[in-house]
Amino acid sequence: MQSFPENLTQPKESIPLARQMPWRRLLGYLGPHKWRMLVAIIGLVISSLISLAFPLLIGQTVTDILNQGSYASLNAFVAMLVGLFVVMAIATFVQTYFLGITGEGIVYDLRTELFDRMISLSLTYYNRNRVGEMMSRISNDVTMVRTMLTTNITTVLSSLISLIGSIIIVFTLNPQLTVFILLLVPILVILAFGFGRPLERMSTRVQDQLATATVTVEEGLTGIRTVKSFVREDYESKRYRNDLTATLRSAIRMIKARSAFGSLMLFLGFGSIAAILWFGGRQVIQGTMTVGMITSFIIYGFLIAAGLGSLAGLYGEFRAVTGAVRRVFEILDTDNTVVEAPSPRPMPAIHGRITFDHVSFGYNVGQQPVTTSPDSGQITGLVLSEIMLDIAPGEVVALVGPSGAGKSTLCNLIPRFYDPDQGVVSIDGMDLRSLSKQGLREQIGLVPQETILFGGTVRENILYGRLDATEEEIVEAAKAAYAHEFIQQMPMGYETLVGERGTNLSGGQRQRIAIARAILKDPRILLLDEATSSLDSESELAVQNALNHLMRDRTTIIIAHRLSTVQAAHRVVVLDHGRIVEIGTHNELLAQNGLFAKLYNMQFAEEGRGREVVDIWPEGDWAVLGWPRVPELE
């Protein structure tokens, strides 16, 4: 049994524990916006210094007015204040404006990086995580991170300037009064640390529960037809209300803790002002301090108390936001199970030979357990075991077998949606793990059973097959897929909107557009997941004609759920419990009277239609379909 080459061993997809306080990493997102942030900080410093000088000016003016009683000095003081306030307003505008565009830039960078990472992760990650949860991280959590990197950082700087400047000033004015203020520091530090960790836990819980509610919305709206067909609107509403109720309860607990923290800060701040007023008032009565000086002290006391309270509160917020930061970095730090080789080989033009050499694979082998796979419900152990299969260039191979036999999983290994745990999958003798993933997937076309179209126009959905295609090539692909005629009958032709996931189109129309998309891509290898099984007879015939055109001169693997569609395949491969149990033509396997014959007869007995349904596939007549014979198989 072969295993990975040593230099291509895959790390399993994992989510490492995020660092507790990743401030340095977060600050890195300010790098591209450092000049805007610098301008914002300059505006902040100017406005903070003016605010810091204001109490001194007030104190001095009160003393002068009491001593001189001059209107002129009062008018001059007010004029100076107006001028300072104008400068302060301009500085505040600069700070707010540049801080705002810096924050939006950070959100743009972080969200694009997150989306790029999400879309690059292998399917293993999506087997374990729900889309709504990821949507919550890219929206709610990133917004919290933005607030911390911009608003909170500048608030910290402003509070530090006010706090340090005020302490220096009051210490030079009266060291004794400063003692009353500095007594607050150890108390606030103890309270901040005491409330910080619980706030972090509460915030993380709120974000997790909000993500769960987002998942409920995403699932309900995505499956809205199913919801309505089963009349489950009330059920989905109840689910969402229950999720929001849990979020609300957690949020209320967090608000209660923050409110208690804020109230204590407020009491301590105003308590210090009362202490200053009591001690300073005694000195005024004794004549050792002027009224202006105690006025300045009281204002500075407010500034110091506000600065200490703000810093303590921001520390609590930082701890609360740490949960959101960790959730964001969990995705950015997630290892990909399907990684590029250190020096991937460029993908040459291929003939299309596909070889499975002792291939074994399990969704949970060496990984975190998952509950579902593309084939069936719960999976344990290996899904594929010791697969040995060689598919010749241009050959049409049908994969059949009971549900959960491993058909879809086998196909998923070809474009490297997953990598085998043991053995080698190769194309034209080249190990897929040594090839560029992009180059490999450009040579492979996929038409799934349930076609997913994007919510744009018909033209955009076909163009998705090859973005540089001309209008003429788009039309030719649509004609080859038997889609051009119905597209022209639409209100806006190729510019008609298909709706969310193609809901404005019929099943047959969606399939033919998907086939046109694959024709435009012009892949050498084609993977078909029974594209006609859920269609009516007329649509089935149109789609099958389109598929016949698409399959010419390509190595094709058909995942067959309806066994009537495999007659014209060069070979039929029968899977059961992850192993190949039979290989042969349709007629050969029926003659063997094995698993294929049993499934075939059982299916037609259940359908009650007899074998006349196979007329869509001329039995064994590859020439009628335009497919070449494969000399290696004859």
Residue 468 in any domain: the answer is yes
Alpha carbon of 433 to those of 123, 258, 350, 437: distances in Å? 16, 52, 16, 8
pLDDT of 616 > 70? The answer is: no
Instruction: Say if strands 354-361 and 422-427 run parallel, antiparallel, or are unpaired.
Output: antiparallel
Distance CA 68, CA 77 (A): 13
Task: Give which of 97, 192, 107 is closest to 148, Cα–Cα.
Answer: 107
Distance CA 278, CA 456 (A): 72
Quote the pLDDT of residue 427.
92
Chain centroid offset of residue 215 CA: 12
- Regarding whether 535 and 505 lie in a shared domain, the answer is no
- Spatial contact of 531 and 501, defined as CB atoms under 8 Å apart: no
> Domain total for the chain?
3
pLDDT of 536 > 80? The answer is: no
Quote the pLDDT of residue 1.
38
- Kindly indicate the confidence band of residue 634, based on its pLDDT and cuts at 50, 70 and 90: low
Instruction: Say if strands 422-427 and 396-400 run parallel, antiparallel, or are unpaired.
Output: unpaired
Residue 340 in any domain: the answer is no
Residue 11 in any domain: the answer is no
- Regarding whether 183 and 240 lie in a shared domain, the answer is yes
Distance CA 11, CA 32 (A): 32
Quote the pLDDT of residue 135.
77
Distance CA 561, CA 556 (A): 16
Quote the pLDDT of residue 426.
92
Rounded to two decimals, what is the model's pTM?
Answer: 0.68
Task: Give which of 62, 33, 305 is closest to 185, Cα–Cα.
Answer: 305
Q: What percent of the chain has pLDDT over 90?
A: 6
Distance CA 386, CA 596 (A): 20
Q: What is the mean pLDDT of residues 413-438?
A: 90
Task: Give which of 306, 91, 297, 295 is closest to 188, Cα–Cα.
Answer: 306
- Regarding whether 374 and 230 lie in a shared domain, the answer is no
52 lies in which domain range? 23-332
Task: Write out the two tokens for 621.
Answer: 């007549």
Distance CA 261, CA 455 (A): 48
The set of residues, in sequence order, having a beta carbon less than 8 Å from that of 126 and lying 6+ positions away, is none
Quote the pLDDT of residue 230.
66
Task: Find the range with the poorest average confidence among 125-139, 186-200, 321-335.
Answer: 186-200
Residue ending a domain, choose from 272, 301, 332: 332
Quick one: residue 125, left, alpha or beta (phi over 0 = left, psi -120 to 50 = alpha)? alpha
Distance CA 22, CA 472 (A): 53
Quote the pLDDT of residue 229.
58
- Regarding whether 455 and 435 lie in a shared domain, the answer is no
Task: Write out the two tokens for 425.
Answer: 């999958």
Please report where in the chains the tokens 């909000």 appear, as a residue: 210
Task: Give which of 215, 327, 188, 201 is closest to 253, Cα–Cα.
Answer: 201
The set of residues, in sequence order, having a beta carbon less than 8 Å from that of 32 and lying 6+ positions away, is 105, 109
Q: What is the mean pLDDT of residues 258-277?
A: 71
- Which amino acid type is present at position 227? V
CATH number of the domain encompassing residue 549: 3.40.50.300
- Spatial contact of 401 and 572, defined as CB atoms under 8 Å apart: no
Quote the pLDDT of residue 354.
93
- Regarding whether 514 and 540 lie in a shared domain, the answer is no
* DSSP helix/strand/coil, 339: coil
**Most confident listed range (99-113, 177-191, 202-216, 272-286):** 99-113
Task: Find the range with the poorest average confidence among 56-70, 86-100, 377-391.
Answer: 56-70
Q: What is the mean pLDDT of residues 470-475?
A: 89
Task: Give which of 419, 423, 183 is closest to 305, Cα–Cα.
Answer: 183
pLDDT of 420 > 80? The answer is: yes
Distance CA 474, CA 477 (A): 5
- Kindly indicate the confidence band of residue 64, based on its pLDDT and cuts at 50, 70 and 90: low
Distance CA 80, CA 86 (A): 10
Quote the pLDDT of residue 618.
43
Distance CA 388, CA 369 (A): 26
- Spatial contact of 387 and 482, defined as CB atoms under 8 Å apart: no
Q: What is the CA radius of gyration of the chain?
A: 35
- Kindly indicate the confidence band of residue 12, based on its pLDDT and cuts at 50, 70 and 90: very low
- Regarding whether 143 and 40 lie in a shared domain, the answer is yes
Backbone phi and psi for residue 424, each to the nearest 5 degrees, phi listed first: -135, 135
pLDDT tens digit sequence for 98-113: 888 888 888 888 888 8
Distance CA 517, CA 531 (A): 14
**Most confident listed range (240-244, 423-427, 532-536):** 423-427
Distance CA 116, CA 298 (A): 53
- Regarding whether 612 and 477 lie in a shared domain, the answer is no
- Regarding whether 241 and 103 lie in a shared domain, the answer is yes
pLDDT tens digit sequence for 156-201: 777 777 778 777 877 777 777 677 666 666 776 676 666 666 766 7
pLDDT of 519 > 80? The answer is: yes
Quote the pLDDT of residue 7.
38
- Kindly indicate the confidence band of residue 613, based on its pLDDT and cuts at 50, 70 and 90: very low
Quote the pLDDT of residue 124.
78
* DSSP helix/strand/coil, 353: coil
- Regarding whether 152 and 37 lie in a shared domain, the answer is yes
Residue 4 in any domain: the answer is no
Residue 8 in any domain: the answer is no
Task: Write out the two tokens for 444.
Answer: 């492979």
- Spatial contact of 261 and 191, defined as CB atoms under 8 Å apart: yes
- Regarding whether 175 and 201 lie in a shared domain, the answer is yes
Quote the pLDDT of residue 10.
40
Q: What percent of the chain has pLDDT over 70?
A: 74
- Which amino acid type is present at position 159? S
pLDDT tens digit sequence for 364-376: 654 444 444 444 4
Residue ending a domain, choose from 460, 493, 522: 522
pLDDT of 612 > 60? The answer is: no
Quote the pLDDT of residue 424.
93
Quote the pLDDT of residue 410.
92
Residue 549 in any domain: the answer is yes
Task: Give which of 178, 202, 153 is closest to 324, Cα–Cα.
Answer: 202
Quote the pLDDT of residue 355.
93
Average pLDDT, the chain: 75
Quote the pLDDT of residue 402.
86
Helix axes 175-182, 233-286, angle to 10 degrees: 160
Helix axes 233-286, 184-222, angle to 10 degrees: 160
Choose between 292 and 608: higher pLDDT: 292
Residue ending a domain, choose from 522, 542, 557: 522
- Regarding whether 28 and 116 lie in a shared domain, the answer is yes
Residue 415 in any domain: the answer is yes
- Regarding whether 603 and 470 lie in a shared domain, the answer is no
Alpha carbon of 563 to those of 228, 230, 533, 572: distances in Å? 32, 30, 10, 10
Task: Write out the two tokens for 83.
Answer: 């001028």
pLDDT of 379 > 50? The answer is: no
pLDDT of 287 > 90? The answer is: no
* DSSP helix/strand/coil, 613: helix
Distance CA 47, CA 42 (A): 9
CATH number of the domain encompassing residue 110: 1.20.1560.10
Residue 12 in any domain: the answer is no
Q: What is the mean pLDDT of residues 506-533?
A: 81
Task: Give which of 338, 440, 385 is closest to 127, Cα–Cα.
Answer: 338
Number of residues written out for the chain: 634
